[in-house]
Chains A and B, each alone.
Chain A
């Protein structure tokens, strides 16, 4: 079974500062994928970034980077230069590797508030 743990129910960050959202995972799959999604107050799920378990380098997408530490089973999201529009719920998720098993297992989320 897969498990995702996000230990920060809420976080505050000053505008233009960087922030790290924590995510740890547990799985017995040898191959897996890790995701971060953003859910603003409007409710849609926005894909941010993906890291494959065999990827050698940490994933980056614009202001988002994923700090992947495989031995520690952590996949923290780093948002640089926070903007007011970054205020939202952030979900870490994992996908397994078996045939057809592409469903995502989500953490409980972190609510990020950006302060002007």
Chain B
């Protein structure tokens, strides 16, 4: 089983809908991240969490919110989806202050 699991893997929805992307991990890491990737661009940080009570905005947090329900679970919500939020979304975890981040397989989100 994957260490970092994202659900759903693919989602197509309409403008204005509320959407939740979920991430769960079995690595026991405190730090979790949400990134988005647009074609031809690298990953950009949306939100990150150092533990259950510590949530921080990243570079592009507008239009998104997150919830850290437990050490193992970190959800990303789009309150009212718009077409320019169509992208590939990645969740990642990290076990220490510095070191490698471990990525899920991504969620491909299309907003019509």
Tell me if chain B binds chain A: no
